[in-house]
Structure 1
Amino acid sequence: MTLPAALFAITIFGIHFGGSPMLKSTEHFSIPVTQQLPLDVRTNSGDITVRGGTQPEIEVTVIKRAPSQAQLAQMHVARRIGARAIHLTTVYQHGCWWDCGDISFQITLPAKTALTLHTNSGDVRVRAMSASVGASTSSGDIHVDGAAAERSDVVNLSDESGDITLRDIGGTIAAETSSGDVSLRDASTSALTRAKLSSSSGDISLFVPQNPSIRLDARTSSGSIRTNLGIRVRGQYAAERAAAQLGTGRVTVHLSTSSGDITIDGAQ
């Protein structure tokens, strides 16, 4: 069914983007939360920014940009409550893709809401959440600062061309980029289940918290492994590998890159 909008407003003004004049439209609406459903957000081109809070509803700001008023008028967001999720999906005019403009989201919502976020071209930013997060972009960066408070939660991130930055994450982590760097820090091993960070062409960095409980396996096919934790690094030709148990080794952490360096540091 179509979602009711508790708050709705639109403003339009001109901006310049990449040297070309663009029109911009901003829309605000609220989605009442009557039950704890996951939120699914998808845009063809544009950024997605999500922040967790304590308010009882989902507050959404939609920012649309297009070269002409006609194109802007045919870009909108479809809103639907499904049986298993709340869906926000961008709709463009027929035959249009990224070259017709972009639609970005700025969202605040209850922190315990599970998220699925996708953009073909743009950045994804998630902050102060305490539930599972799935995020993907074909071209852009992914930043997650606070997610997955429980060991049963899952953080699944996929990026074709861009960096992935994670901070203060729990649960099961899978973060993969084809071309870019991946970093994880301030992850409490008491809340972690396991983690896998990988890049086809890029660097991997892990900052190990105090009093860790990690079973570590790090590999690079062409690059070096650096650490200040006294972990033994073995090399053969251009490849290097490091394996170690820190503490009781409850949490398994895999780090891998085909072409790039791996840094494993911790508090001294």
Structure 2
Amino acid sequence: MPNHLQNYYTVLGVPHTATLAEIEQAYRRMHARMHRRAAVDPAQNARLQDAYEGFQILADPRRRWAYDRLLQQEPESFAPPVRPPDPTKLILARAAPTARWVNWVLLACCLLFALDWGLPLREFANEEVLSRQIVSVGSSAANPQMAYDIATTNTKFRLPSAIAPRAREGQRLTVWQTPLLRVVRQVSSPASPDGAAPFQPYGGGLYSGPMALLPVALLGVSVVGVLPRRPPEVRVNTAVVGVLLWVVAVVLLLIF
């Protein structure tokens, strides 16, 4: 019988506060590095067996708790001091499962955006302009910029002041919008002196211009958050960033 309890933290090369993911990763690295030599070297095989036994104990929360209690009874020269777990890591570990589900929901929103963008546009012909309301879209008092919120029979959109005369009250328009989220993509004003060529509303909607990068960024963040074997902090951080991007996207949908 050995004089000392085997220190499996030392065998696996992980700290006493290592998470389950860190322990599993350490064992897999050790196995990948040693399993070929262990087949012909008894010493390497014995070391790999110790690593496997340690992984089996430390990967089981109940067995690990009992093992840590026994390890504390070893002489101080052998047993490392038991440090309290990091509160931040504990909070992240508890929040990680919920964060992953949030990322799945955000990924579903990206699928909705993709379907809305890819499906044929819905055309509203002979739309009457019911109202034109001037709004300020400038970010500085020194450089004011104005636009017009246009309301028709079935749609709403915003036009820059430069092309707002194409949509006057009582005028008839043709409006194309996405079928699911009702994002106005194009407008045509056949009666306008500028001609019937379609033009885009203010900002081009969620799927045109710089705003189109928003759904792409949301997709990238949510995919990272749902990948397997991600650390808790990655899952939580991607969920937070993804929710912020989703809020911005919703605001853009409501405004434009």
- TM-score bin, normalised by smaller chain: under 0.3
Higher RCO (CA 8 Å, separation ≥ 6 residues): 2
More strand per residue: 1
TM-score, normalization by structure 1? 0.26
Larger Rg: 2
Q: Using structure 2 for the length normalisation, give the TM-score.
A: 0.27
